[in-house]
Amino acid sequence: KPPIIVRDLAVALGLKPFKLISEVSQATGGFAGINSSLDEPVAMKIAEKYGFLLEVKHRGEAVAPQKVKTADTKAKIEEEEQKNLTPRPPVICILGHVDHGKTSLLDAIRKANVASGEAGGITQHIGAYQIEFQGKKLTFLDTPGHAAFSKMRARGADVTDIAVLVVAADDGFMPQTDEALKHAQNADVAIIVAVNKMDVKGANIEQVKSQMQQRNIAPEDWGGETITVPVSAIKGTGVDQLLEMILLQAEVLELKANPKAEASGVVIESEIEIGRGSVATVIVQRGTLRVGDALVCGQHWTRVKALFSDKGEQIKEATPSTPVRIIGWSGTPDSGATFRAVKNPREAERLAEEAEQRTRKEATVAAAEPKEVSVEQLF
């Protein structure tokens, strides 16, 4: 078979030759030039990386990789993706004003679920956990206030499918309730209102409902569309109804993901643990995360040596919507940052280094640039 010439491949892929040359050098580990010849498997690999399906047509002696990335191949890839889409559990974020009972509600949900007693003392803080209710899995996020939520959103990583807005029945809507509502609306997630503290004296659900109507999120029994569930996190009442409503909402959303893809997802929180180094709790959004995977997350990377479930058990793999703890990162990844699996640890390290250099360069440029004066300052 006649060889494939770098120049021809560049033309076919629509890439600048120098760009391709560096790709080829990396792929083969040697020096390459514009007239270098390539083995077909190497050319295929490079083409694939750019989303092309390489088709080599040998016409006599002359070789030209044919036009490759066509709408057709793209459609094929998408079709494959569609075929692999599988239902996944919903990811639910609990939001609301300070002290309205977010953490208590999360505890109540978990207690209702672990009545079997597997998790005796639920004292330690867990950023994300998964429960099973009526045979279906649900993933909950405990966010310290809505700051984390908006941070995640700002990074374009919408992990949340459903927001549960907790409103204390005695207080009603408060400034942070409104802020949380705004965030949830901006993120375009389904909203369910949990009217908490129904057990306290002075609980006034009608007032909360009228406040909802004023905010254009009228409850269902007021002719609106917002599912509203009265609960008491302390007494545990209404928790099952809330879970049922969440499941119902999740069904409507028809949430799906491709478990066969390379794993990717979002960091929920991270910390340095003595003896374990940098630990990150992540949620897998796509693909299946496995022990042995090489991950890159911004400037940090890791080769997964062990995965831990929200219950602290060691697991082999994590499918979409599963919260999982990963230890042994090269540094501490930021919450809200996205991670993805790459082909090997070397690649992960290289990408992390590149990201670091970019950040450093940006920082230098930002420091060197004269500060712009705003119009307001001028007046």
Site residues (vs ligand GTP, CB under 6 A): 96, 98-104, 196-197, 199-200, 232-234
| Least distance from ligand GTP to the Cβ atom of residue 114, Å | 18
Residue 138's Cα: distance from chain center in Å? Answer: 15
* Three-state DSSP state, 27: helix
125 is in an annotated binding site: no
183 is in an annotated binding site: no
When CB distances are held under 5 to 8 angstroms depending on the partner's kind, the choice from Mg ion, ligand GTP, none that residue 353 binds is none
Q: Which residues of 364-375 are buried (b: 16+ CB within 10 A; e: fewer)?
A: eeeeeeeeeeee
Binding residues vs Mg ion (CB under 5 A): 102-103
| Least distance from ligand GTP to the Cβ atom of residue 218, Å | 24
Helix (H) or strand (E) holding 84: helix 71-84
76 is in an annotated binding site: no
101 is in an annotated binding site: yes
102 is in an annotated binding site: yes
198 is in an annotated binding site: yes
Identify the CA nearest to 46 among candidates 21, 81, 83: 21
| Least distance from Mg ion to the Cβ atom of residue 261, Å | 34
Strand partners, 229: 194
When CB distances are held under 5 to 8 angstroms depending on the partner's kind, the choice from Mg ion, ligand GTP, none that residue 98 binds is ligand GTP
The smaller minimum CB distance to ligand GTP, of residues 130 and 143, is found at 143
When CB distances are held under 5 to 8 angstroms depending on the partner's kind, the choice from Mg ion, ligand GTP, none that residue 233 binds is ligand GTP
| Least distance from ligand GTP to the Cβ atom of residue 166, Å | 6
The smaller minimum CB distance to ligand GTP, of residues 77 and 98, is found at 98
| Least distance from Mg ion to the Cβ atom of residue 247, Å | 24
The whole-angstrom separation of Cα 29 and Cα 44 is 16
Q: Let me know the angle formed at the C-alpha of 230 by 229 and 234, rounded to the nearest 5 degrees.
A: 125
The smaller minimum CB distance to ligand GTP, of residues 104 and 160, is found at 104
139 is in an annotated binding site: no
The smaller minimum CB distance to Mg ion, of residues 150 and 264, is found at 150
| Least distance from Mg ion to the Cβ atom of residue 103, Å | 3
114 is in an annotated binding site: no
| Least distance from Mg ion to the Cβ atom of residue 172, Å | 19
When CB distances are held under 5 to 8 angstroms depending on the partner's kind, the choice from Mg ion, ligand GTP, none that residue 220 binds is none
Q: Are strands 162-168 and 91-96 parallel, antiparallel or unpaired?
A: parallel
Q: What share of the chain is helix, strand, coil (3-state, %, to 5)?
A: 35, 25, 40
The smaller minimum CB distance to ligand GTP, of residues 232 and 321, is found at 232
Q: Are strands 314-315 and 277-286 parallel, antiparallel or unpaired?
A: unpaired
The whole-angstrom separation of Cα 139 and Cα 130 is 4
The whole-angstrom separation of Cα 231 and Cα 198 is 6
For residues 66 and 48, the answer to whether their CB atoms sit within 8 Å is no
Q: Which residues of 149-165 are buried (b: 16+ CB within 10 A; e: fewer)?
A: bbebbebebebbbbbbb
97 is in an annotated binding site: yes
When CB distances are held under 5 to 8 angstroms depending on the partner's kind, the choice from Mg ion, ligand GTP, none that residue 309 binds is none
When CB distances are held under 5 to 8 angstroms depending on the partner's kind, the choice from Mg ion, ligand GTP, none that residue 300 binds is none
Both structure tokens of 132: 């099973």
The smaller minimum CB distance to ligand GTP, of residues 232 and 270, is found at 232
The smaller minimum CB distance to Mg ion, of residues 146 and 209, is found at 146
* Three-state DSSP state, 330: coil
Position 280: which residue type?
A
The smaller minimum CB distance to ligand GTP, of residues 73 and 103, is found at 103
103 is in an annotated binding site: yes
When CB distances are held under 5 to 8 angstroms depending on the partner's kind, the choice from Mg ion, ligand GTP, none that residue 104 binds is ligand GTP
| Least distance from ligand GTP to the Cβ atom of residue 121, Å | 17
- Cα Rg of the chain, angstroms: 26
For residues 46 and 9, the answer to whether their CB atoms sit within 8 Å is yes
The whole-angstrom separation of Cα 295 and Cα 268 is 16
Annotated binding-site positions for GTP: 96-103, 142-146, 196-199
Annotated binding-site positions: 96-103, 142-146, 196-199
